[in-house]
Structure 1
């Protein structure tokens, strides 16, 4: 099993890796130079010993301190790839680098700039090495199938807005290889189902306990049953379309209240048949067709509605290619009895006006 994969495929990944090595070498060299500087100035050397001899004698020890942190870190990385914690190697690595940083900071305490530069270079070199080796280790483990796939990046705004949903979405994405939006939708649905099932399970427990007068038996029954499974089974058996139909029927608009006037008496006095239902409002009457062809179509549609009163308005509208509003207008007009006559409303009004005028003039001619 190959665990020596290198991070990043393609030119960009190789360039980043080369840049990391360059930065590490420069930073480590700077840290080593700082330690040699401290050793040349601070160690109790003989007075006649030249500075370059001092530097030559200090350099191996300074290099060992920095290289010690790298070598022990490399051992730790190797053991971690094999699945071990490698805590001893990691502690030795951190301790070696800490010694080098402390030497640079304390040795140049009189010059804050040098203390910051050389101490910072040691920390920077070690940080680059740790992140670089960790990236290479993850790539090697991923190539060997020992590392889980990475989850989608959801962004800070999504984490802030829906932390619980995002945590669940991340788990679902890793478990089922879902994309970002698919995992969020699945997480929201799953959490909604869990909340509903928990509420239903609480009601089921209350119902089970209510069926037993003995509290001990009630506890046994409620504890024995898998309330979540009962809630899930109830959800599967629920008649959702039936409840939607019942609730939708309750949401239909109420009939218009009757007025003080008696419309049947008024229509009888005018020579028209009595109304079968309440008179539609003026906005409905204005929409009743005045041309004979459209009026006949309304009468035909009203005849079908009367023959099948239980048909859904939406289904009827789709069947005949009309709007739901038009179905409601036809129903309200037909219930009132205004579609019973073969004549349109305007023709009946003209007929009534002519008839009344004739009756009114008869007594005058007789006199």
Structure 2
């Protein structure tokens, strides 16, 4: 409340200062043009200098004020939604004539040329910026001008240009504060990137279902791939994937005693890294299939340089199953003639206290 009141109380003082600066600069430019008008034209020698000044003063005042008057008309028409190119060109031309008169007329004294020419430029610049600020305030008050966006700073723009552009648009559209707009922009860009990658994979999957390339193009073009990607994202079993991945990250349970350690070595001997949970679930539980895996693992160990696709084709199994057998066998889980579930049951029988 106090900051708002302070801003409104300071604004008239600032505007008064702008008017004062403009008046002083315009007066200086006018004096410079009158000076040129007194000295340059071929006046009669009998005509006093103050008569010369009196004759040229209206023209100098018209030139300086003409630029401001034309700019004021341009500002008025712009507030009504017009471009006002004619008034703006006339204003700039008038000021150019005044500044050129001061520079050329005082060319023999560089200081005077710079001072009087600079005063004309300074007066016109103050007028343009002041009128533009008043026009923006008037348009903003009537709801015809967008609100200003937060200032994100050069460091933020340099570090995250795409995020900052999105955040600025969100802040203007939804009137969000700086940090909130940045958070939402980052989230939106991450989701768009993930959805775009998923849509590309969905398109490949759809095309792979059709042997005819024309049908594949029709299917991929007809479907809204972004909508399919969004639906897949909504149906994704995130907790399920977290459980599967987390199962591979769990440490082995601690052994209670030396007897448990010996029993573990005898029943489930592990020679290498434990295969992931999805591979362990595929280890056969029936004795015949388990013995088949042990035989295939023995063949793999006997010829470690064999090509896996060739091995799979020779034994009539899939390449994926060969990979499962190799990972399970490398861990030592196929060294025992007992199946994995029989060894676990044996371990429970040998340790009834721990099992209970």
Q: TM-score, normalised by structure 2?
A: 0.70
Q: Deviations over 1:24-51 (max 9, x none)?
A: 1111111111111111111121121111
Q: Take 2:154 and 2:12, find their aligned partners in 1: how far apart are those partners?
A: 29
Q: Take 1:222 and 1:151, find their aligned partners in 2: how far apart are those partners?
A: 40
- Cα shift at 1:240: 1.2
Aligned residue for 1:40? 38
Residue number among 149, 171, 174 corresponding to 1:173 in the alignment: 171
1:110-259 equivalent positions in 2, closer than 5 A: 110-253=108-251
Q: CA RMSD in A?
A: 2.6
Q: Which runs of 5+ in 2 are unaligned?
A: 1-5, 266-347
Q: Take 2:150 and 2:205, find their aligned partners in 1: how far apart are those partners?
A: 43
Structure 1 residue matching 2:107: 3-state secondary structure: coil
- Cα shift at 1:340: 5.1
- Cα shift at 1:23: 0.6
Structure 2 residue matching 1:253: 3-state secondary structure: coil
Q: Take 1:169 and 1:115, find their aligned partners in 2: how far apart are those partners?
A: 48
Q: Take 2:34 and 2:55, find their aligned partners in 1: how far apart are those partners?
A: 9
Residue number among 59, 62, 65 corresponding to 1:61 in the alignment: 59
How many residue pairs match? The answer is 267
Aligned residue for 1:287? none
Q: Deviations over 1:253-296 (max 9, x none)?
A: 35799xxxx954xxxxxxxx886647xxxxxxxxxxxxxxxxxx
Does the 8 Å CA contact 1:27/1:125 hold for their aligned counterparts?
Answer: yes
Q: Deviations over 1:291-349 (max 9, x none)?
A: xxxxxxxxxxxxxxxxxxxxxxxxxxxxxxxxxxxxxxxxxxx9x969859xxxxxxxx
Q: Take 1:337 and 1:158, find their aligned partners in 2: how far apart are those partners?
A: 63
Aligned residue for 1:108? 106
Q: Take 1:215 and 1:256, find their aligned partners in 2: how far apart are those partners?
A: 57
The verdict on how the C-alpha distance between 1:274 and 1:24 changes in structure 2, with shifts beyond 3 A counting, is: closer
1:324-343 equivalent positions in 2, closer than 5 A: none
Does the 8 Å CA contact 1:277/1:337 hold for their aligned counterparts?
Answer: no
Structure 2 residue matching 1:45: 3-state secondary structure: coil
Structure 1 residue matching 2:219: 3-state secondary structure: helix
Q: Take 2:186 and 2:96, find their aligned partners in 1: how far apart are those partners?
A: 47
- Cα shift at 1:237: 1.2
Q: Take 2:249 and 2:173, find their aligned partners in 1: how far apart are those partners?
A: 44
Structure 2 residue matching 1:145: 3-state secondary structure: coil
Q: Take 2:221 and 2:46, find their aligned partners in 1: how far apart are those partners?
A: 90
Q: Take 2:117 and 2:253, find their aligned partners in 1: how far apart are those partners?
A: 87
